Structure 1
Amino acid sequence: MKDAARLGRRELIATAAALGIAAPAAAQASGRKRAVPPGFLWGTAISAHQSEGNNTNSDAWLMENIQPSMFKDRSGDATDSYHRYEEDFAIAAKLGLNSYRLGVEWARIEPSEGHFSNAELDHYARMLERCRAHGLRPIVTLNHFTTPLWFAQRGGFEVADSPQLFARYCRKVVERLGGLMHMVTTFNEANIRLLVDLMPGFAEALPKVKAAVAEAGRRTNSPKFSRLAYADPAVAGPLMQEAHRLAYEAIKAVRPSLPVGITLTTQDIQSDDPKLVEHYRERLYGGWVDVARSHADFFGVQTYTRFIFDQNGLVAPPAGAEMTAAGYEFYPQALANTIRWAHKAVGKPIYVTESGIATDDDARRIAFIDQALDGVRACLDEGIPVHSYLYWSLLDNFEWTSGYGVHFGLVAVDLQTFKRTLKPSAVHLGAIARANRI
């Protein structure tokens, strides 16, 4: 395969044509208004559990495979990226991207408490080596919602010594893999449980959630069974914050120069009342902003939509608003708003580590990307240090409780043959990345 960095606009369009994709937008990508800062990262993001498949030692695997279940599908083989990562990297590189955010799976690396698998660490080392060989700078996430089953059985992040166990795992990974990483984050969307509390319908769904967690505990004879995304935030929140601080320090002790960051779910909070905006931001972020200020080299913004609040709580989207397949409002302008908030509130270099849309209409995906990038450009024009745009996701993959019916990907995947098929949006984003303009 030709060096992806040398593929020009004409060849990109020819590649798109060979793949059966009409890409007039690709020819216009160089017309974007301004060059991005040096070192800007163009890429995609994906998690280990959602793409690798057969993560059988994890808490998520258990909860997908018992009844009652909150999951529409089981992850199963997922997109088989555990074996097909080389193909995924090649696609990203050929499109013109220069970065790839991926996860390593704690449940594979530490399948039983205190036992670390050298074979799995070697597997991830090979992945990162091939990622770099394709000209992609790897941003590694150490935890993306899933934990080893043994960790969930003992109480997850609701047990006092959980921060030490998480930090030990992070140190072990960085000792083996740190030299291959471009950047690393500890938790993906560490405040996910606080977001869930704000979502419409969660109070009504809570009994079902508790029943599923209780059933997992019964199946494993684990009365303290706890899963990160459903844990009591009053208990788990402070422990996860301590886990991040300890992990940050452990990583720095091994690799002082490796940038260590944190990502939060950063949905755009809006209200006519500024006091309500601050109130709901406090509810969404808890103490994580202070943690990011003191124990992060960079901050990952992960924005998909906006939430509007009034005195009675969350307000439904405006009448006639376009809704995505994930059930929330099409509102790419949210990204610029959360970048501005993060710059002011956290004061660290900003990386867009996730931005995307669930839709089966790829023209709307292209529109979402373009409008989100317009917002990034506006922030750069304002002097805000934005250093990346990572789209979620390269592949249509396993979307947690929504299963395989919700499609965020730039690339479709046949779940029987695992054939990858580029969508026009993949070529479109790739052309923008090649032009290196925003």
Structure 2
Amino acid sequence: MTKTFPKNFLWGAATSAPQTEGHSLLNGKSASTWDYWFEIAPEKFNENQGPKDTSNVYEMYRQDCQRMQDIGLNSLRTSISWTRLLPDGKNLNQEAVKFYRDYFTCMLDHGVKPIINLFHFDMPMWLMQKGGWESRKAVDAFAFYAKTAFEQFGDLVKMWTTFNEPMVHVECGYLYQFHYPAIVDFKKAVQVGYHTLMAHVCAVKAFRQTITDGQIGIILNISPAYARSDSPQDLAAKQAADLLNTQSFLDPAVKGEIPQELIDLVKLHELTPQVLPEDKALIKAYTVDFIGLNYYQPRRVKAPSQPLTPAKMPENLYEPYDWPEKKINPYRGWEIYPQAIYDVAIMMKEQYNNIPWYVSENGMGVADEERFLNADGMIEDDYRIEFMQDHLEYLYKGIQAGSNCFGYHSWTFVDCWSWLNGYRNRYGFYRVDLDNNFERSIKKSGLWFKEVAHNNGF
């Protein structure tokens, strides 16, 4: 039986400016935190692969737009580099304007709808030196950048998102040391999260004041937490995990309010952030048109072995639970659990007004893919095809149950650089040969996806 998806379903891929463009300190672009961190601590980066080593989309975007068309993509989500567009936060880099206008126009000319995101973990260094997301100044700086982007590209781009996975730069930068400034401070992390939320809200406000024909959303990495058991302690851990990781951004973005239970939780643990009196009304007034949801792995939790009040780390509220029956992707150490996509679909239908949403990232990272090169030089990535098909089966089931999902984007289009991991794990429909001028070659999954997109199902 063919599983046919809704009419005008978006079949595409997702990527980001810092992970693909290259030219990281060229063509008028200033340093982001990644450029700075690589400069001062290159040993932290896999095989010394830094932001300058990304996939050279800056030079190859025209051919890449043809490649998008070749495998049937009708949409692509990427981001604008804040430090390229506004190198000092104030003055437009005209070369960047030309590059992005050409890139987005080229996508449209090849039948690919651009979905453009504003922030993908690439904090400008000039703003980090003023406190970064710890400072309220970042909210106004981001709103100005957002307004600038809307003014420059709003005639070409009709779907915008403010942030990709805001919880990641909060956790990785202020709890777990995977992003600069690599601080471990729960209270600062909550403040950073709050300022990020307000930056999102103020960007939505700028959008409403600037754009008349478009939509704006936010991209969140969402999985409802799964408790180890139905014990009160495990269920309390699940609630804390859901409040902090899911509802902290999803509720204000869709419903216009921060859950009272979350406000109570941070107060109990002496983590309450500094807020302004007008913030509550702004959050209420500037909700989103749609949500992008990234999904790779479930969040399984259990009661903390060292509960603390006040909590010093999230692990004092909930701990990861290693489900003994899990199927694992050994390269990332991530559980493969496609059923969660169905649970997410039902959550969006039943708890979030059935707002339009799409799978904004889903994919499988594998190391040493050259092992799977066939005689014709193509990577036979059947594991990736199986991964995506399994997830699409559950997504289809969720849509059949009435969830308002309008698209599926794989991570990613061409193999890209991934922060401290460099090119260790590959995700693309196209292989990138780093030793041969970033030459692209299609993988088996790219041919499979072309068929899925052409048939609007499988």
Pairwise same-fold verdict (TM > 0.5): yes
The 2-side partners of 1:61 and 1:243 are apart by 23
Residue type of the alignment partner of 2:200: H
Per-residue CA deviation, residues 6-51 of structure 1 (Å, 9 max, x unaligned), is xxxxxxxxxxxxxxxxxxxxxxxxx632x22222100000000000
Report the more deviating stretch, 139-148 or 337-346.
Answer: 337-346
Aligned CA RMSD, in angstroms, stands at: 2.4
Aligned counterpart, 1:400: 419
Q: Is the 8 A contact 1:158 1:232 kept in 2?
A: yes
Aligned counterpart, 1:137: 113
The 2-side partners of 1:68 and 1:75 are apart by 11
**Closer, same or farther: CA 213–195 of 1 in aligned 2, 3 Å:** closer
Aligned counterpart, 2:402: 383
**Closer, same or farther: CA 172–370 of 1 in aligned 2, 3 Å:** same
Matched, 1:62 2:39: no
Give the share of equivalent positions with the same residue, in percent.
Answer: 27
Matched, 1:213 2:187: no
How far is 1:147 from its partner?
A: 2.0
Specify which of 318, 325, 335 is matched with residue 329 of structure 1.
Answer: 335
Per-residue CA deviation, residues 207-229 of structure 1 (Å, 9 max, x unaligned), is xx69x638xxxxxxxxxxx99x9
Aligned counterpart, 2:250: 289
Aligned counterpart, 1:305: 297
Per-residue CA deviation, residues 81-108 of structure 1 (Å, 9 max, x unaligned), is 0111112111111111111111110010
Residue type of the alignment partner of 1:412: R
Three-state SS of the structure 1 residue aligned to 2:52 is coil
Any gaps of 5 or more consecutive residues in structure 1?
1-30, 215-225
Aligned counterpart, 2:81: 105
The 2-side partners of 1:268 and 1:408 are apart by 24
Q: Is the 8 A contact 1:59 1:148 kept in 2?
A: yes
Aligned counterpart, 1:151: 127
The 2-side partners of 1:261 and 1:193 are apart by 18
Residue type of the alignment partner of 1:349: P
How far is 1:177 from its partner?
A: 0.2
Specify which of 363, 368, 371 is matched with residue 390 of structure 2.
Answer: 371
Aligned counterpart, 2:139: 163
Q: Is the 8 A contact 1:354 1:392 kept in 2?
A: yes
**Closer, same or farther: CA 413–161 of 1 in aligned 2, 3 Å:** same
Aligned counterpart, 1:354: 361
Residue type of the alignment partner of 1:186: T
The 2-side partners of 1:71 and 1:319 are apart by 33
The 2-side partners of 1:230 and 1:396 are apart by 34
Aligned counterpart, 1:84: 60
The 1-side partners of 2:53 and 2:79 are apart by 16
Matched, 1:266 2:266: no
- TM-score by length of structure 1 reads 0.83
Aligned counterpart, 1:32: 2
How far is 1:157 from its partner?
A: 1.1
Any gaps of 5 or more consecutive residues in structure 2?
26-30, 257-286, 305-318, 373-380
**Structure-to-structure mapping, 1:174-323, within 5 angstroms:** 174-193=150-169, 196=172, 206=177, 213=181, 232-271=188-227, 272-273=229-230, 274-285=235-246, 287-293=248-254, 294=256, 295-312=287-304, 313-318=319-324, 321-323=327-329
- TM-score by length of structure 2 reads 0.79
Q: Is the 8 A contact 2:345 2:399 kept in 1?
A: no
Residue type of the alignment partner of 1:406: N
- Structure having greater relative contact order (Cα 8 Å, sep ≥ 6): 1
Three-state SS of the structure 2 residue aligned to 1:388 is strand
Q: Is the 8 A contact 1:268 1:306 kept in 2?
A: yes
Three-state SS of the structure 1 residue aligned to 2:181 is helix
The 2-side partners of 1:234 and 1:177 are apart by 33
How far is 1:429 from its partner?
A: 1.2
Q: Is the 8 A contact 2:83 2:89 kept in 1?
A: no
Aligned counterpart, 2:348: 342
Residue type of the alignment partner of 1:408: Y
Matched, 1:118 2:88: no
